[in-house]
Each structure stands twice: as C-alpha cells, then as structure tokens.
A = this chain, B = another copy of it.
Amino acid sequence: MMSHGPETLLLDLFAIFLAAKLMGELLERVRVPAVLGEILAGVALGPYALGWIHPSDTITSLAEIGAIFVLFNAGLETSSGDLIRVGKTALLVALAGVFFPFLLGFGYMKLIGDLTTESVFVGAAMVATSVGITARVLADLDVLSSELAKIIMGAAVFDDILGMVMLAVVAGLADTGGVEWVHLGVLVVEAAAFALFMILVAPHIVRKMHAGVERLSTRNAPLLVALAICLLLSWVAARIGMAGIIGAFFAGLMFADLAPRWNLLPKAHAINEFLAPFFFFSIGAHLNLKLFTGGVLKTALVITALAIVSKVVGCGLPVAKRGWHTILGVGVGMMPRGEVALIVALAGLNAQIVSESNFAIVVFMTAVTTILAPPILRCLLREEREAAASSR
C-alpha cells in the first residue's frame, strides 16, 4: 500500500545525481567544464536517447529550484560595490558584448525566416557570458589579479546583469506570446529599474538590517534570511512578468558584501551542489540530438560562429587601442556562455515559444563556446601567467 511514488522518486533522484556528477568528473579530468558533463548525462539518459529517465513533474520542479540556486550563487559571488568601482572600460566592454551578439543572432535568425519571437530568444541567449566558467579558468591559471583579468571579470559581471535584463524581456515576451513594442518598452524599464534598485539600494537595506539578523535566536539565521529573501524576490520577479531566477540573482547580489562575514558561500554552494544537477540534467534531457541534421546543424554552426565572433569583436572594440593581445584576451574571456543562456533557452521551451530546434541550437552554441574558451584562454594568457609566477 506504500505508494509507488516515493520509491520511483528516490531512484530518479539517485540516478540523475549520480549520472550528472560522474559525467562531470569525467569531463573535469580532461579539463572540460563539469557543467557540460551534467548536461550530457541528461542527453544520454533522457527520453531522446536511452530513454531511462523521463523527468517527472517533481524533477522538473527541482530543476526550477536548482536554477534559482545557480543564479543565487552567481549573485552571491558578485559584489555590487566592485561593480560600481570597476570603471568605464568594463561597462563599455559589457555593453558592446551584449549589443553585437544580440544583433547578429537576432539578424541571422530573421534572415533565414524565423519568427521575431524565436529570433529574439536566440539573440538573447547569445548575450550572457558565464561569469562562473570565466572566473574558474582565470583562477585555475592564477592570473585573477592581472589587469586583463580585472577587465574581463568586471565586464562579465555587468554582462550578466544585462543578460538578466534581456531575460526579463524574453520572459515577458513569453507571457504575451509575441512582440508588442509598448509592452517591450515597459518590460525594459521595469527590468532596468529592478536592477538599479537591487544594485544601488538593496545592499544598504541589508547593511541596515544586519545587526538585527545577527540577534535572531534561530541557528544559522543569516542563511535563513538570505534564503527567504531569495524565494521572495524570485516570486516577485515572476509575478511582475520577469523570470523568477532574476530575483534569485539579485537576492544573491544583495547579500554579496555580507557573504564572507556570514559564511554564506559554502552553505549556498552546498545547497547548489545538491539541486543544480537536476537543472543541468533537465537541459540535456530536453535536447534531441537527432535534430542536428541539414538545416538545423548548419544554423547551429553559423550561430555558434556568430556567438564567438560577435563577442571577440564586440568586447574587443572598447579596448582596441590596447593592442591585439588585450583584444583577443578580453574577447575570448567573454566567450563562454553558460547557465543564463541555458535558462533563457529552457524558459522559452517550457513556455512553448521557442521550437525544439532553436532550443537545440542554443544549447549547442553554449556547449561549444564553453568548451573552446578555456584552452584558447590558457594559450593567450601565457604572458600574464609567467608574470604572475615570476612575481612570487
């Protein structure tokens, strides 16, 4: 009489978690970011390949909660104080790195006759650099303190926020089911206002309430307050027509300055380690590799090429007078797309506003840019690496 449910749920949880982490470990060993392994696990075990796991409603919900924690963590690792200090160059790099990829992606999709909504989706997914992957590579190379790395990191963070604004717009589009320019304008203003409020005002609110939080009797009160606000802002963001994860990102940003004092990072990471694999696995499980033939494969390759060129050119432009080394370093550093692109894609697919082929194209583009960036960056930054090593 014990229902069949819990047992199946437990098996699904175990199989997904194990497969994702095993594939992650394998790829990590050949120096490919682990997140791609988690996606591949989903491709392999999901309904389009082996068909062992058909994500249930619960798994889909866990994936959504996982995406929220991925973005909460990204925000937590981004200091809004640094953002304000980081200077014009990084902001210009970020703006150009958003404008060119979106324009090229959107333009090409329209050119080959796609719908405006679909084209906006693909363009938006090409925008956001993965702060996580870039930071990881720079840290592995031990060059985080170099001038180049500072520009890249600053730009990647701004770029993430711009990506969030794009995502808000995309989620808003999904709501209305098409492009209405007035509505679009409202969304852009709304998203920008939300972003500015969260960057400029929210950290002060946190600073004001921090003594109160530390006086609470509950164990781990700071973590609990941060989690509650993360859930609240996720809901608020979804409620006013943006994507929930935007709220999660800004909730993280709000607590970034207090994270070391409250030791939030290892704790938020732990929750993330458990939940994020369900998100990345779901991405893979939605990916139909059989779609990659003829036209779709061609489009995927073109979009990927555009995603690479547009970031290198776009991000290189504002630093053009610093010479080729800097242009290429910044451009390649900004190349890897990541979680944000995938979240844009999955949101679009679930809202049935992006086709399976365009979903597959976005995931392909994300995977290729993420795989290519680390080795190229490793070659390009040899100079900085030697300088860092000899200064010790």
Contacts and interface: CB of A to CB of B under 8 A. Distances in A.
Contact of A61 (B9, B14, B217, B221): B9
Interface residues of A, number: 58
B220 A13 contact: no
A3 interface: yes
A325 interface: no
A237 to B, nearest CB: 9
Given A14-B228, A228-B21, A353 B1 contact: yes
Interface stretch (A269-277, A358-366, A369-377): A269-277
B244 A6 contact: yes
A18 B177 contact: no
Contacts of A293: none
A223 interface: yes
Copies in the complex: 2
A266 interface: yes
A25 B351 contact: no
Contacts of A24: 218
A13 B218 contact: no
Contact of A217 (B7, B9, B28, B64): B28
A1 B352 contact: yes
B1 A177 contact: yes
A383 interface: no
A228 B277 CA distance: 12
A28 B244 CA distance: 32
Given A1-B174, A57-B57, A228-B17, A7 B352 contact: no
A320 interface: no
A224 interface: yes
Interface string A22-53: 00110011000010000000000000000000
A191 to B, nearest CB: 15
A28 B13 CA distance: 33
Interface string A253-295: 0000000000000111111011000000000000000000000
A307 to B, nearest CB: 25
A114 interface: no
Contacts of A219: 34
Choose among A171, A273, A351 the residue with the greatest number of B CB atoms under 10 Å from its CB. A273
A350 interface: yes
A235 interface: yes
A3 B238 CA distance: 11
Contacts of A232: 14, 18
Nearest to A31: B217
A10 interface: yes
Interface in A184-202: none
B269 A227 contact: no
28 contacts: A1-B177, A2-B175, A3-B350, A7-B239, A7-B244, A9-B61, A13-B235, A14-B231, A14-B235, A17-B227, A17-B231, A18-B231, A18-B232, A21-B218, A21-B228, A24-B218, A25-B216, A25-B218, A34-B218, A57-B57, A220-B269, A220-B273, A266-B266, A267-B267, A267-B270, A267-B273, A270-B270, A271-B271
